Amino acid sequence: MSQKVPIKSLLSRPRFKVFTQLSKQEFIDLIKKHLEKNSVEYGGYANNEIAMVRLRKDKDKYWHPQLQIRIEEDEDHLGYLVVRGIIGPKPNVWTFFAFLYGISGAIFITLGSYALSEYIVQGTSVWIWAVPIALLIGLGTYAASLYGHYIAKFQLGRLYHFVNDLLNDAEFYESKDELN
């Protein structure tokens, strides 16, 4: 059986959800086997609940994505596992960009409100410059995230191929309709 993981887009944190008949331990062993087989390129771990696959530390850069796999038993169909995955930036990168967007929004709202009210009352305000500065921070953050996505495109594709190889060995099903 050779099919591709149902990821609709590789643009922003692609996700997938598939089903397999393997037991939890068999699937974890399969992940470990694939990690060992590709140990030159990938590193990571797998335990009873989650697996994490990323580029080896010596090849890893700040922008490179990682693959997170969550393994759960399906409550509706006994004997099947639900495998959910997400390919995205590392949590520290994600948090940093959320922080920058938050700072931009906070400056825009607080200093922008203050500048607007001061402008209405006095007819002039020095704080009005906070609005374009906040917009520049927000747009700069967005541009940096697009650039980071561009840099990590190759690694994103490599992780996508890793997922396809892994799940094709596990003989996965895309939906519950295929289980019956």
Domain range annotation of the chain: 15-89+152-178, 93-149
**pLDDT tens readout for residues 86-134:** 888 888 888 999 999 999 999 999 999 999 999 999 988 899 999 999 9
Percent of the chain at pLDDT exceeding 70 = 87
Using alpha carbons, select from 134, 164, 152 the residue that is nearest to residue 55.
Answer: 152
**pLDDT tens readout for residues 3-18:** 666 665 556 678 888 8
Q: Could you tell me the pTM of the whole model?
A: 0.74
The CATH number, out of the four listed (3.30.70.890, 3.30.310.80, 3.30.2130.10, 3.40.50.11540), of the domain defined by the range 15-89+152-178: 3.30.310.80
